Structure 1
């Protein structure tokens, strides 16, 4: 093609291109833990890689970040350093280095300035300490290894980032990116497991400690607790055809495996408390259904739970990891709902009658199975597709399901994170918790087999209810908060610039609960009729003061049943948070009233027992007189 001489070759063209708005979850971005272009990593392979990294890692206490240059120079004498992480705990600053080489000091820890270099039971310390060099402030790392400092945004920074998001889907994704477990957090958890293995290697050379729970199921957040399972070597399963076998002392309580396990855990707890550096606040809970040892690891700054008979929990973590890897929307949605439940005080960090994060996760998975089309398949589908290599058994529990997700096809569901979050609250706002239970095995609901407030079937041990601890009061709180969140999201149908600094999206859902966490549910009135399934009588008491019960729960003269607060909220389309606060205040009764009710009940029991003894004495006198 020929151009005229007076015609410029390039011209500036100005045009406005209008493109259709693409849903947030369809952006060209990978939201899973694996990077773009990488294939799915099986759970067993991931755990094996992390365990190998822990064997080649070194934890050193340093005076500060400038001392990293001297530390890198010392560590380079034993092997090539691939990565270096720097973090600060509540007591000291630590440096973790990953060393490659057969002669590297793999199992070395740091505790104080006078610690020795090697860890040998039972008397030596564990960690080499790096003193501050006088020229460390001016030193720079000359190698290609950079120090990685992972920072976790504060609540104020997170709120500011969410307020600048474009829509609710981007808010949900930002919450997941800011609160998910970091690479350093994962390394430190496997490093803590390796520390216990090294401590017990003299007594049990084949001992293996595996993390489970939120540390490996891809749903763990920053600063989550560490759950570990200890598996000792079993000499009874040795190959009898070999000419040389190991000898071991037979337990005195071999007939009762539970007593044997409790005695082993007593010895292990003493080792942790007396010899392993960094272990503090060691507590033994051996009378529980699953005996555990709770302690705090000060060097890695985390709370730890150690058990010996919970292999099924490890496979449960693998199942959750698979579901989190099936679709990139599963993990962000679970994180957003967990954050909502935490800020609304639906869940609690302490054990008790509250809804747990595990129960909430199963509720999210059950909802994603019930969408049309389904986002993830039920567990029964994974069981049918399992091969011979997927067979697993733990303590008589069948834990067989598909481990390779390459066989599954992607879901046809194209809903955004915002649509899924709205659908979650709408789905459970209409769910009949009083009569029905839920299960992710077949993704169906069923009539509750027992009188529990909330029934969520355990996917592996299907005769158990994972939410058996939840009370009627906490279930009603959950239903009320779900209704509240649903109407708040309906008010925030679209985020515009006119809203200004007003909280919207997830920020409007979180808020602050009107009742403090420490005193939650202690002075609330009790609906005894709902507890004992008693129908209201036609002739109620004339005065409410006789029973010291609030007027909300008193029976009326008619047969009409007084609706609860959750039913009022669901029936009222103009339900406001102010009305919810007033209703909660009306339901509260004074502690003296509750104590008076308990005193009257005790007095009636004592009087009934006294009358029974008196009648029995009179009857005996009559029998003696006849004789």
Structure 2
């Protein structure tokens, strides 16, 4: 995050700022060439559904293998070895507890041929679990210096200031381009799903494991968790063709929840005992949505696997759809999320903080309230739906149009810079004490229950997705919106200021919002937190004025 602040600060001050920022990213998070992998894939056909994209990605994953390379092989010899088994369509390298390669063959025969040649390793003083998977180790190939390997170049952020409107808009877009998932990262996420599916298929051959949430909805940030669902809906028998018919004899349980708990418990044992690289397996079976939680070391992902969260799948499709309607949606969401994480509004651990999902819904609601609206309401999307789009899950109407070409947007040309400022003003004055946020209707409604923050679940409409947020955290959010709005209004410039005493650029534009809030002087952090927002704002403005005044020599 600090790298993004530095990039935003120096964007016009230093021609080499892009390269300097790029070098600060860790390779193990796959900051590689080719930004916006999901968006790039989706733009091949604007009318394609998320379901079609997932099907394509899952097929790619089935034709792929993950190889641990204890030494870095020469590219020529590596490809020559793999090509003996089939045509290699794509490959890339990354670092996570060592060097790994993801290799995609043109067809599954290449994978099968390679697996036939793989052998069980010979070790002494240890016992091995003889479970064969598509996670392999490569040995006995000559290595070369790491500088020879072009694939370890970090992503360079595009900063062509003439290609995007205003400078502040450029900052917002650059922030999005920096942190969104790369094509390689998305491929690796689907490959991890495919490797786990191989384990589950021992019990449920027709099952699929696929990602949902931020990994595929277009709002995922590099380093985000990998949420997966074990989909058993494809398991079904044939229809009776005669008077006599056969049925499978199956175990029975009291409820679907009990079935889910039993299945995840068994899969959890298999992942823990047989899954290479899967560590720290936790069975969280008594949660509202039972799940398995573990770390996949070869990929570096923290993973959650569930088996019954079908409403979350529809939420994923909805967010993806909104993100595809207008490029400003994703950029604004990324910026607000980044701002929120900087100031501790959101957190990576459970608690009373606002979640990223709640924050995303708040951004969507704000965009629905623009004049004219930038995105339509969920009710309008439901009106456009055809019979094939009909979807009811556990009594909840989850219907909305999937074909983007059927959606006609109104003309709104507001810049990202303007929208960011308006977002802060909108929620700095929002009547949280009385009103609920509802993207289905696209308008405020009276709160149906007592809660500091009420955001209606788009599909399970009786639920408040922000029920965990307490009054203290909501007050902090409002105060920071007020402060950020004031800063944007008072800075009064779109160019960086460079001090006379050094070449260090003073934070400007978006960078001022991504820096931790603080006041001039040497007050302790604890005292600063107790200060009213107005005092903190006054101190910040005084600091900005002092920096902008020329100093006497």
**TM bucket by the smaller chain?**
0.7 to 0.9
Offset, 1:122: 7.0
Corresponding residue for 1:373?
372
Moved more, 34-43 or 65-74: 34-43
Query: Distance between the aligned counterparts of 2:496 and 2:206, measured in 1?
Result: 62
Query: Distance between the aligned counterparts of 1:427 and 1:140, measured in 2?
Result: 50
Offset, 1:451: 1.0
Task: Decide whether aligned partners of structure 1 residues 230 and 361 sit closer, same or farther in structure 2, where only a CA change above 3 A counts.
Answer: same
Conserved in 2, the CA contact under 8 Å of 1:235 and 1:247? no
Q: What are the superposed Cα offsets for residues 458-517 of structure 1, whole Å, 9 maximum, x if unpaired?
A: 1011100000000000001101111111011112232235555110111100112569xx
Among 141, 145, 154, which residue is 1:151 paired with? Answer: 154
Classify the secondary structure of the residue corresponding to 2:40.
Answer: coil
Corresponding residue for 1:202?
202
> Where does 1:269-284 land on structure 2 (aligned, <5 Å)?
269-284=268-283
Corresponding residue for 1:52?
59
Moved more, 242-251 or 354-363: 242-251
Conserved in 2, the CA contact under 8 Å of 1:78 and 1:101? no
Bigger relative contact order (CA 8 A; separation at least 6): 2
Classify the secondary structure of the residue corresponding to 1:320.
Answer: helix
What's the TM-score, normalizing by structure 1? Answer: 0.71
Offset, 1:522: 12
Corresponding residue for 2:109?
103
2:139 paired with 1:131 = yes
> How many corresponding residue pairs?
486
Q: What are the superposed Cα offsets for residues 391-444 of structure 1, whole Å, 9 maximum, x if unpaired?
A: 123233221100001012243100111011111011111111111111100110
What's the TM-score, normalizing by structure 2? Answer: 0.80
Task: Decide whether aligned partners of structure 1 residues 524 and 466 sit closer, same or farther in structure 2, where only a CA change above 3 A counts.
Answer: farther
Query: Distance between the aligned counterparts of 1:185 and 1:37, measured in 2?
Result: 18
Task: Decide whether aligned partners of structure 1 residues 175 and 244 sit closer, same or farther in structure 2, where only a CA change above 3 A counts.
Answer: farther
Among 36, 40, 47, which residue is 1:34 paired with? Answer: 40
Conserved in 1, the CA contact under 8 Å of 2:37 and 2:182? no
Task: Decide whether aligned partners of structure 1 residues 418 and 395 sit closer, same or farther in structure 2, where only a CA change above 3 A counts.
Answer: same
Task: Decide whether aligned partners of structure 1 residues 523 and 48 sit closer, same or farther in structure 2, where only a CA change above 3 A counts.
Answer: farther
Q: What are the superposed Cα offsets for residues 300-342 of structure 1, whole Å, 9 maximum, x if unpaired?
A: 1100001111011011000000000000111011101100001
* Root-mean-square deviation over aligned CA pairs: 3.6
Offset, 1:258: 2.0
Conserved in 2, the CA contact under 8 Å of 1:57 and 1:106? no
Query: Distance between the aligned counterparts of 1:446 and 1:340, measured in 2?
Result: 27
Conserved in 1, the CA contact under 8 Å of 2:376 and 2:409? no
> Where does 1:301-316 land on structure 2 (aligned, <5 Å)?
301-316=300-315
Query: Distance between the aligned counterparts of 1:128 and 1:226, measured in 2?
Result: 21
Q: What are the superposed Cα offsets for residues 70-90 of structure 1, whole Å, 9 maximum, x if unpaired?
A: 33112212221111111000x
Moved more, 396-405 or 254-263: 254-263
Query: Distance between the aligned counterparts of 2:288 and 2:259, measured in 1?
Result: 15
Corresponding residue for 1:20?
none
Conserved in 1, the CA contact under 8 Å of 2:93 and 2:152? yes
Corresponding residue for 1:532?
none
Query: Distance between the aligned counterparts of 1:170 and 1:402, measured in 2?
Result: 32
> Where does 1:402-417 land on structure 2 (aligned, <5 Å)?
402-417=401-416
Corresponding residue for 1:5?
none
Classify the secondary structure of the residue corresponding to 2:414.
Answer: coil
Corresponding residue for 2:328?
329
Conserved in 2, the CA contact under 8 Å of 1:346 and 1:477? yes
2:345 paired with 1:346 = yes
Q: What are the superposed Cα offsets for residues 359-409 of structure 1, whole Å, 9 maximum, x if unpaired?
A: 110010001011111111111110000001111232332211000010122
Classify the secondary structure of the residue corresponding to 1:129.
Answer: strand
Corresponding residue for 1:215?
215
Corresponding residue for 1:247?
248
Larger Rg belongs to:
1
Among 506, 513, 516, which residue is 1:502 paired with? Answer: 506
Query: Distance between the aligned counterparts of 1:323 and 1:57, measured in 2?
Result: 31
Query: Distance between the aligned counterparts of 1:303 and 1:574, measured in 2?
Result: 38
Offset, 1:203: 1.2
Offset, 1:129: 1.6
Conserved in 2, the CA contact under 8 Å of 1:193 and 1:228? yes
2:438 paired with 1:439 = yes
Corresponding residue for 1:66?
73
Classify the secondary structure of the residue corresponding to 1:66.
Answer: coil
Query: Distance between the aligned counterparts of 1:178 and 1:113, measured in 2?
Result: 40
Conserved in 1, the CA contact under 8 Å of 2:85 and 2:114? no
Structure 1: 5+ residue stretches without partners: 1-29, 516-520, 526-551, 553-563, 580-627
Conserved in 1, the CA contact under 8 Å of 2:71 and 2:99? yes
Structure 2: 5+ residue stretches without partners: 1-35, 123-127, 500-504, 520-524, 543-553
Task: Decide whether aligned partners of structure 1 residues 326 and 138 sit closer, same or farther in structure 2, where only a CA change above 3 A counts.
Answer: closer
Classify the secondary structure of the residue corresponding to 1:372.
Answer: coil
Task: Decide whether aligned partners of structure 1 residues 302 and 108 sit closer, same or farther in structure 2, where only a CA change above 3 A counts.
Answer: farther
Task: Decide whether aligned partners of structure 1 residues 503 and 105 sit closer, same or farther in structure 2, where only a CA change above 3 A counts.
Answer: same
Classify the secondary structure of the residue corresponding to 2:248.
Answer: coil
Corresponding residue for 2:83?
76
Offset, 1:200: 1.7
Corresponding residue for 2:30?
none
Task: Decide whether aligned partners of structure 1 residues 44 and 385 sit closer, same or farther in structure 2, where only a CA change above 3 A counts.
Answer: same
Q: What are the superposed Cα offsets for residues 552-589 of structure 1, whole Å, 9 maximum, x if unpaired?
A: 9xxxxxxxxxxx946xx4xx99744499xxxxxxxxxx
Task: Decide whether aligned partners of structure 1 residues 502 and 340 sit closer, same or farther in structure 2, where only a CA change above 3 A counts.
Answer: same
Task: Decide whether aligned partners of structure 1 residues 308 and 139 sit closer, same or farther in structure 2, where only a CA change above 3 A counts.
Answer: closer
Offset, 1:152: 5.0
Classify the secondary structure of the residue corresponding to 2:423.
Answer: helix
Task: Decide whether aligned partners of structure 1 residues 446 and 139 sit closer, same or farther in structure 2, where only a CA change above 3 A counts.
Answer: closer
